[in-house]
Chains A and B, each alone.
Chain A
Amino acid sequence: MELYLPVANMSVHILWILALGTMVGLLSGMFGVGGGFLTTPLLIFSGIPPTVAAASAATQVTGASVSGMMAYLRRGGVDLHMGAVLVAGGLIGSILGAFAFRWLESIGQIDTVIALLYLLLLGSIGGLMFKESLTTLNILRSGAQPATRKRRHHPLVTMLPLRWRFYRSGLYISPIAPLILGAVSGMMTMLLGVGGGFIMVPAMLYILGMGAEVVVGTSLFQIFLTTIATTLIHSVTTHAVDIVLALLLLIGGVIGAQIGARLAMRANPAGLRLILAIIVLLVALRMGAGLTWQPDEIFTVQAL
């Protein structure tokens, strides 16, 4: 059954988009990531204009992060103080991202930059995760205890001026560090349609040195508010949010997320991370292939 998308100006197969949403929702429920990093490329592969894909995927990520964020809020797993600083950074990043988006579009390099960013981010994160989960699995098998790492923030962070206390995170650091981190993730949300959780979680752990018990909740809180801001900015500047597409993705996404969350409780976390790492690496490879193989279309049209 075909459905016409009023903003993308094309018709799509309902079942394909629903299946895509469910699949991404399943992943986001299982791994606690927004899933935008999969939605945007898959939508682009199915012929939806990149801008519409990124904008509508951001809208979907909001919905996908709601239930997780609520759960963490209830059990006190969100550092609201840190979250507020990250969101402020996210807002700055989204606005900078909007300008970058417009500039890159005007010089015709937006597609290449999107593909390169995906390749770089997914390739490095996927590689790290792959290595880490393999080591963990080996350690578990040999029965040895994983070495507990002493929590410490990155030396660069300590050099920044002005220090605030973030009680829930157990930190006394400069707010400039999370502000910059938030801005980077906000820019990525604007450009790539990703929530940025897969970058924020490791960054919060290893760069800021936040306590593990508040990292995922705070990241979800930040994703939730930053994607809301991104949806609004896209609606006002690029006019590219297709609400029908977002709705289809959401229907599949919210159901998939709930099923995924239940599945995740029964699985081995390191095994889950290994699967996620493989998926992330495959998407990165496909993006890289798209850049180096001769593209199907040498010519592209941009409306003025």
Chain B
Amino acid sequence: MTKFVDSRRQAMQHWLGPLCLALLMLAGVRADARNPILVPDVSSRTIDIKYSFTGETLLLFGAIIYPDGRLADDRADIIVVIQGPTEPIILREKSRIGGIWVNADNIRFASAPGYYAVASSRPVADMLNERTAAVYEIGLDNLSLSPAGFTSDDQLGRFERGLVDLKRRLGLYVADANAVEITQGSLYRARLNIPARVPVGRYTAETFLVRNGEVIAVASRQIDIRKTGTDRFIANAAQNHGLLYGLFAVLLSVGMGWTAATLFARR
């Protein structure tokens, strides 16, 4: 029963975040006729993971179209955020107890993104104030991780920094303030690296146009990262047909050992 209530609460929290965000965006980004429009695109809508996959470079590009054909008169900035599917995790912290390092403390995060990259034409802190950045969830300090089970803000801060630091070094969380290039105020492009260990699923690439500390246009595109071919087949079999998969692994193992033994025995 408790579990059921918990999962419902979690589901509500899960929906509440994006809903609030969407409302805020509607309020913030008014359909102002004088505001420019973003036309974004990505180099690949789907990324296929197959046996030779070692990661991919994703190119996000697009145009900033100003109404009545006028050219950009002042400097606008672009921020691109790519976010992967979120998953519930437990983050554990090791401490030295009795001479050995063991996991001593933990916090649950109900919605840690499996991948998060923010690319911009200037450091985000120079374009947006903290509140605005937090509202749009821009930047590695503004991830909505939905933490639970922490005892103090101090502890939470330490764990959040720990998570971001860990994922950054794995290339799964990225913040690059020089990755967006804007040409003549109207064309932009950003290059981001997707490492081999990314989780599969649906990714969203959001582009924000920022001027004078305000977000004046938002556009998003979806990218699907999925396993294909044999890798998809194997991962699916391992997850959904465990017994058959295990029997096949055993057969393969026995078969190879037996073949090698008979081959070498003949020589």
What residues make up the interface of A, taking CB atoms closer than 8 Å to B? 2-4, 6-7, 9-11, 59-60, 62-67, 70-71, 108-109, 111-112, 116, 228, 231-237, 239, 241-244, 246-247, 250-251, 254-255, 257-258, 291-295, 297-304
Contacts and interface: CB of A to CB of B under 8 A. Distances in A.
Closest 9 CB pairs of A and B: A235-B246, A66-B257, A67-B261, A254-B260, A63-B257, A299-B162, A63-B253, A6-B231, A232-B246
A71 to B, nearest CB: 8
B254 interface: yes
Interface stretch (B71-79, B97-105, B180-188): B97-105
A231 B227 contact: no
Contacts of B230: 6
Nearest to A228: B250
Contact of A4 (B49, B243, B256, B261): B49
Nearest to A112: B102
B89 A246 contact: no
B253 A295 contact: no
Contact of B234 (A6, A65, A254, A299): A6
Contacts of A9: 197, 199
A301 B249 contact: no
Contacts of B257: 62-67, 250, 254
Given A62-B253, A239-B238, A241-B249, 20 more contacts: A3-B52, A6-B230, A11-B197, A64-B257, A66-B253, A66-B254, A66-B261, A108-B106, A109-B102, A112-B100, A228-B250, A235-B249, A255-B260, A291-B101, A292-B100, A298-B93, A299-B94, A299-B162, A303-B88, A304-B90
Given A6-B231, A63-B256, A112-B103, A232 B239 contact: no
Number of chain B interface residues as a range: 35 or more
Interface string B44-83: 0000011111110000000000000000000000000000
B101 A294 contact: yes
B15 interface: no
Nearest to B94: A298
Given A9-B199, A232-B247, A70 B261 contact: yes
B163 interface: yes
A302 B232 CA distance: 23
A299 B106 CA distance: 9
Contacts of B28: none
Interface of B: 49-55, 87-94, 96, 99-103, 106, 108, 112, 159, 162-163, 165-167, 196-197, 199, 227, 230-232, 234-235, 238-239, 242-243, 245-250, 252-254, 256-261, 264
A67 B93 CA distance: 44
Nearest to B106: A108
Contacts of A304: 87-90, 108
Contacts of A109: 102-103
Contacts of B261: 66-67, 70-71, 254, 258
12 contacts: A2-B52, A4-B49, A7-B235, A67-B261, A67-B264, A231-B253, A232-B243, A241-B246, A243-B245, A291-B101, A294-B101, A302-B90
Contacts, number: 179
Contacts of A228: 250, 254
A2 B238 contact: no
A4 B253 contact: no
Nearest to B88: A304
Nearest to A288: B100
Contacts of A10: 196-197
B242 A257 contact: no
A167 to B, nearest CB: 28
Contact of A11 (B53, B102, B106): B53
Nearest to A60: B253
A39 to B, nearest CB: 13
A93 to B, nearest CB: 18
B95 to A, nearest CB: 8
A193 to B, nearest CB: 13
Nearest to A62: B253
Contacts of A302: 89-92
Given A6-B235, A299-B166, A304-B88, A241 B245 contact: yes
Nearest to B103: A108
A236 B234 contact: no
A33 to B, nearest CB: 15
Contacts of A291: 100-101
Contact of B91 (A67, A112, A301): A301
